[in-house]
Amino acid sequence: MSDGLNVAVLGATGAVGREFLDLFEKRAFPVKSLRLLASERSAGVAIPFRGTDVKVETVNEKSFSGVDVAFFSAGAGRSRQWAPVAIDAGAVVVDNSSAFRMDPTVPLVVPEINFDSVRPENRLIANPNCSAIILLMAVAPLRKLGTIGRLIVSTYQSASGGGAAMMQDLLDQSKAYLEGRPVIPKVTPHPYAFNLFSHNTAIDATGANEEESKVVAESQKILEMPELKINVTCVRVPVLRAHSESVTVEFVDKAPSEELVRQTLAQTEGVRVVDDRASNHFPMPWESSGQGDVLVGRIRQDPSHPSAVCLFVSGDQLLKGAALNAVQIAEKIFAKASVSV
Amino acid sequence: MSDGLNVAVLGATGAVGREFLDLFEKRAFPVKSLRLLASERSAGVAIPFRGTDVKVETVNEKSFSGVDVAFFSAGAGRSRQWAPVAIDAGAVVVDNSSAFRMDPTVPLVVPEINFDSVRPENRLIANPNCSAIILLMAVAPLRKLGTIGRLIVSTYQSASGGGAAMMQDLLDQSKAYLEGRPVIPKVTPHPYAFNLFSHNTAIDATGANEEESKVVAESQKILEMPELKINVTCVRVPVLRAHSESVTVEFVDKAPSEELVRQTLAQTEGVRVVDDRASNHFPMPWESSGQGDVLVGRIRQDPSHPSAVCLFVSGDQLLKGAALNAVQIAEKIFAKASVSV
């Protein structure tokens, strides 16, 4: 790794794609060469990186030749199409889509929680759903305090989960509303300005939407707790780039004390406790946005259950919920396997 | 009641106060005379009602002389000060503040749920907390389907709960953000534009804020279930005038079927089921705002519990959460006791 990595980003012009470039700079990710890839529609766009402009190329069969690590964030369809090509070309793929997350041969990784699920032979690593990552950053550390039996979660999800276009739509709709013009959604299924709506993914026969099903299945896989019971309700709120979640954690036996939960979370890498009751200061998107850490607060005993605790969590959807988690995965892989590069 | 009621509104210039006047017109509330009262600060303001302008007067010891019904919405302090005066003057007071809600001699009423708690001798009726009303409109009808043991609630509360000034602050902050100017909150404790924050009320030793404590205590009183277990997390979201709530209802024995819950709610006065999975259409503030009905949807079995159901609720905080509920209380009292007027 001494002379760096040949890096590709597929989906370079999207909201997550742009965060990758920013993170490569900020974290001094060892980029030797950078190839930005996207669909034909975005080809030719120039994106600044380390003082020069990098042109976005149309992804094709030869795009991954010589690439050491490819970050994919262009949707499940494109991941299914291009991951085999990139792997055949010798790249390690860190895939931000849902395409391979539940494939039992593919590790689904939050580095602070289960990096040990990555084996040297894995050339494809899945980056989990944003709501699952942000939830588990707060929940996983509590496993050492007792056996968790059930999670009850309601989310407050930002526009960024729907990409740059949804973020712009929220801004445009809000502007229209404030100027007294009609609010006409271009991306969202319902008005988004000063509104909220149930997560805009298809509902299955049990009444769960796809986002909720992802949180359940992926959390069970990441925690290696296939029997963990999870009740999650996913809602979009008019916030730009941070997801928040109201979480109740039920323990099978006795719940740990509030103080022990606070201490444990305060010592967790990637978590920052924001829990100032006196000044009514708790996690919120305004403060979690742009931060790598997931903020956790409102730590308290559940008054309705003898062995449960409540939390409120907020994390940047584009960073820890997507690009940062993917970059951290790559950093750990190439730190560990530096001989192979 | 044939020739109508002498009506007073204390707090006439506030967000809830203005809704009273609108409701009197829309519901043909039998107003014979209308006295608008407020603190000195607002005196002299003229408010249109039925084609004429009514001047707001400073509330004083003689303000309630001859008044049949007085609607109070000027905060707990003013209610404590003026309710005894109004009652002495012969008025029935419907109080929207928290001042008397937990007084065991004062009925705390959601008319569809517990109007039978009002006795002829009651001259003071408390209007419940907005989040409690909206929650219970959906939960109370389910009592006939089984014994409810526990509620788990996360709220998505609007600016209107903080009054007209907070609504304006949300608009002003949002405009500043969109124009690239600094966001400087005037009313909210934290930035509100494209943000959310834990409910801005004081936190007690258990970690609950005042809003959460109200929802617990008032729900137990209204349902006459002092042992009902309630876990509630109250959060302000950047929405103008409708509260939404993600609700899990745990039954002690078997949970009713999803279909039975849907049928029961569809037949409940004051509730409208909005639960269209195929078109991803569920309750949201954009549609509950300005409506008298509380919207209920996302009706489904809780996948994490053998006898629980999940709901998502949205209701207009200024209407069913405040002014409408108060007017409905008065309508029922004076319909019942018309001989006494």
Domain that holds residue A154: 132-317
Of the candidates B142, B187, B185, B138, the residue with the CA atom closest to the CA atom of residue B315: B138
pLDDT over 90 for what percent of chain B? 96
Query: What CATH number should be reported for the domain holding residue A204?
Result: 3.30.360.10
pLDDT of residue A282: 98
| Residues A139 and A274 both lie in one domain | yes
Partner residue opposite A156 with nearest CB, options B231, B235, B297: B235
How far away is chain A from the Cα of B218, in angstroms, using its nearest Cα? 15
The per-residue pLDDT of chain B, averaged, comes to: 96
Contact (CB<8Å) B284/A190? yes
| From B150, B238, B312, residue closest to A198, measured CB to CB | B312
- The answer, yes or no, to whether residue B309 has pLDDT greater than 50, is yes
Residue A339 has a pLDDT of: 39
Q: A301 — alpha (psi -120 to 50), left (phi > 0) or beta?
A: beta
pLDDT at A3: 81
pLDDT score, position A336: 55
Per residue in B107-160, pLDDT (tens digit) is: 999 999 999 999 999 999 999 999 999 999 999 999 999 999 999 999 999 999
Q: What is the CATH number of the domain that holds B118?
A: 3.40.50.720
Residue A73 and residue B209: Cα distance in Å, rounded? 40
Contact A277 B203 (CB under 8 A): yes
Q: Which helix (H) or strand (E) holds A166?
A: helix A164-178
> Is A130 among the catalytic positions?
yes
Same-domain check for residues A177 and A290 = yes
Q: Which of B130, B85, B143, B129 is nearest to B321 (CA)?
A: B130
Are A241 and A251 in contact, with CB atoms under 8 Å apart?
no
Q: Do residues A291 and A190 share a domain?
A: yes
B183 and B229 part of one domain: yes
Q: What mean pLDDT comes out for the span B199-221?
A: 97
Residues B275 and B302 in one domain: yes
Question: Would you say residue B337 has pLDDT above 60?
Answer: no
Q: Both A156 and A254 in a single domain?
A: yes
Three-state DSSP at A302 gives coil
Mutate to test the interface with A, among B259, B286, B295, B309 (most CBs of A within 10 A): B286
One domain for residues A178 and A102? no
pLDDT band at B3 (very low <50, low <70, confident <90, very high): confident
Per-residue pLDDT reduced to its tens digit, A109-129: 999 999 999 999 999 999 999
Query: Exposed (0-12), middle (13-18) or buried (19+): which is B50, by Cβ within 10 Å?
Result: exposed
- Residues A303 and A331 reside in one and the same domain: no
pLDDT average, residue stretch B31-40: 95
Average pLDDT, stretch B9-20? 95
* Portion 149-208 of A in contact with B at CB < 8 A: 150-152, 154, 156, 170-171, 174-175, 178, 189-191, 194-198, 200-203, 206-208
Q: Are residues B258 and B157 in the same domain?
A: yes
Q: If pLDDT is split at 50, 70 and 90, which confidence band does A341 have?
A: very low
Same domain, A111 and A141: no
Check residue A16 and give its pLDDT: 96
Which of B169, B171, B194, B311 is the best residue to mutate to test the A interface, defined by the most A CB atoms within 10 Å of its own CB? Answer: B194
pLDDT for A188-233, tens place per residue?
999 999 999 999 999 999 999 999 999 999 999 999 999 999 999 9
Whether residue A286 sits in one domain with residue A153: yes
**Residues A92 and A136 occupy one common structural domain:** no
What does the pLDDT look like over B61-120, one tens digit per residue? 999 999 999 999 999 999 999 999 999 999 999 999 999 999 999 999 999 999 999 999
**How many independent structural domains does chain B possess?**
2
Residue A247 is inside which H or E element, if any? strand A242-251
